Chain A
């Protein structure tokens, strides 16, 4: 028996327990805080189910945005603001070329048609047309 009357086995046991406790505390402190977004996906009813996109797909979209003339860092920031489902929606919008712009962005060849459709209440391109209902 040692000076303090503690057996070797006893010391080993104490040391092991201390090590275990230290590891647990370290693990707890290192463990990430669980994100609100994931909790919402899991627990909120009727929440938009996340469409899962992998990193490569996001990279593709980022490349497309850069081709759009968006600065690379800005493209990254814009994508980071969107959920996977929203990035997917953006892809569709880019493919369909539906970017809102201007009232005065119209082809001359359809000018007359649009004048008529304005009057018929199908469209609203010109300020001066009054719609006949």
Chain B
């Protein structure tokens, strides 16, 4: 593959600064990958804390679904991506991306999570933090093979005030609702606010914000958010119903 020809629209090179290289404990590449991206975002969480939420002892590894679930339970925006273009776009925007790879063969798979921290089209290199102290450097071809063998699974894990750039609005909305679902209400509130600024004509952000504020007991701000939702979309029954509910609780 000639990377420059294959990705004509992409920035020639990109490197996300400050992603720590953490030496993984045995079998903990999943928790380590999440720890790396969360520490990059300012957290001081450790891999063993994440392992409690994500690791499966019998399988001696971490399932992709639990990578998503544990990130959410830790208050992060977690959204899957699946194309090489999305991957390069996120990295070029300054976001490290967790990738799932089969570093071995179909017949003898070696499943592994790494974090893509950069790439260089001209040097034909994809840079990963991979649970070892040295950086892993793969040519584009090889990276693609290992990634494709693992179903092209990748996860963008970000703090809730930083939006992914290669993902449709509805997917980010779902990630926000998922934060509500696990009770990470403050994080959900932040994400709804961030989304509302990015997509001001979309009532669902104000609606979600209203619900997240209500769930935290902040009725006045919840009412304000729902009123903003209603101003954007006056006829949506869900908005009217929730607004009526909040207003009733506030005593009209």
Residues on A close to B: CB < 8 A?
Answer: 25, 28-29, 31, 33-40, 42-48, 65, 67-70, 74, 77-78, 80-83, 86-87, 89-90, 93-94, 97-103, 105-107, 110, 113-114, 117, 121-125, 127, 131, 133
By secondary structure, the A interface counts as loop
With A29-B249, A103-B130 as given contacts, are A98 and B150 in contact (CB-CB < 8 Å)?
A: yes
B→A interface (CB under 8 Å): 24, 26-27, 29-30, 52-54, 56-70, 72-73, 100, 103-105, 107-113, 124, 130-132, 134, 136, 138-139, 141-142, 145-146, 150, 168-171, 173-174, 176-178, 180-182, 204, 207-208, 211-212, 214-215, 236, 238, 241-242, 244-246, 248-249
Nearest 7 interchain pairs by C-beta: A99-B61, A69-B57, A90-B65, A101-B61, A81-B69, A44-B170, A99-B59
Please tell me if the beta carbons of B57 and A123 are within 8 angstroms of each other in the complex: no
B171 / chain A contacts, CB cutoff of 8 Å: 47-48
Contact A78 B66, CB 8 Å, known A34-B238, A47-B170, A100-B111: yes
Q: Identify which of B26, B63, B146 gathers the most chain A CB atoms within 10 Å of its CB.
A: B63
> A103 near B103 (CB under 8 angstroms)?
yes
Of the candidates A43, A90, A114, the one whose C-beta lies within 8 Å of that of B66 is A90
Instruction: Tell me which of A38, A47, A110, A131 contacts B173 (CB under 8 A).
Output: A47
- When the two chains form their complex, are residues B104 and A40 in contact, meaning their CB atoms are under 8 A apart? no
Smallest CB–CB gap between B56 and chain A, Å? 4
Residue on A with the closest CB to B99?
Answer: A100
Q: Which residues of B contact A40 (CB under 8 A)?
A: 170, 173-174, 177, 204, 208
Question: Given that A36-B176, A70-B56 are known contacts, is A103 also in contact with B211, CB under 8 Å in the complex?
Answer: no
